[in-house]
Amino acid sequence: MPGERMLITGGSGFLGSELSRKALEAGYRVWATWFNNPLPEVQGIRAVPLDIRLRNEVSGLVDRISPEVVIHTAYKQNDRAVTFDGTVFLAEACRKSARPPFFIFLSSDLVFDGAKGAYTEDDEPRPVMDYGKDKYDAEKIVRDLLPHALIVRASLMYDLVRVPVHLRSAVEALRQGRAVVFFEDEYRSPILVDELAGSIIKLAGIRLGGVLHIAGADRVNRWSFGIELLRMLGYSTQGVSPGSAKDMGMKRPLDCSLDSSRAESILGMRFRGVREVLGF
């Protein structure tokens, strides 16, 4: 709500930077943390260096700011100390506050096993990847320590200007002349980062706890999505070929598409699909 203090972890990240901007526009007083990548100077956004793996640093920051809202986006794939332990430290610090803030935790569609797709909030998570396990364990800690918190499970994020995290290694490989494979048998529900961030800021004002899925309307495979997004961002797709995660023996969930109808009903909006946004 306008005038309230909001703490956003991972503020220099793909989503965190968009959240910081939208929170500022909505009238919040914004503190945004960073670790490896310093935030650019933006009037009204207080950039705070933070190693979320250090309990004392986390608790000290929460004590100093006393935020009314915390949006926790900081994570690192294959690093449980960041994704899980950092969430524990932040949730503990918020719980111990004289006035615990409304807490929003950004989770992932990868908490599911990918066996059926179109997952709703009522489906039971069964992660098969370490990152998914770290996120699901973090979800459970947040629910235990902060029962009124909101957990948002999102899918792959993208926009029309920046290279998203999930494409950075592919872009780097193409620049070096190396071949890239996108999976034809792995399905997700990509969400435009602008729509995801805007929805989260609205939910911060609603103060609704529980679990919500926020993802795009389209179930698309990684091959189609990756090719079209590369083209939209102005990169050549020469050197990119389709492949099969199953045939390559990779332990990955194959269909983690999400059903976001509950969030759409609460917010009174429709999340656009990637085909509509990218026009394919």
Give dist(CA 86, CA 76) in Å, integer.
10
Angle (CA) 243-245-247 rounded to 5° is 80
Return the DSSP state at 129: S
Angle (CA) 24-107-112 rounded to 5° is 155
Can you give the pTM of this predicted structure? 0.96
- Concatenated DSSP letters of 90-103: HHHHHHHSSSPPEE
Q: Where in the chain is the domain with CATH 3.90.25?
A: 160-188+218-257+273-278
The answer to whether 62 and 94 are in contact (CB under 8 A) is yes
For residue range 145-171, what is the model confidence (pLDDT) as tens digits? 999 999 999 999 999 999 999 999 999
- Band (pLDDT 50/70/90 cuts) for residue 249 is confident
The answer to whether residue 195 scores a pLDDT higher than 90 is: yes
Where do runs of H (alpha helix) occur along 52-192?
55-65, 80, 86-96, 130-145, 165-175
The answer to whether residue 94 scores a pLDDT higher than 80 is: yes
Q: Where in the chain is the domain with CATH 3.40.50.720?
A: 5-157+190-214
CATH topology of domain 5-157+190-214: Rossmann fold (3.40.50)
User: Strand 69-72 and strand 5-9: pairing?
Assistant: parallel
Return mean pLDDT, the chain. Answer: 96
CATH topology of domain 160-188+218-257+273-278: UDP-galactose 4-epimerase; domain 1 (3.90.25)
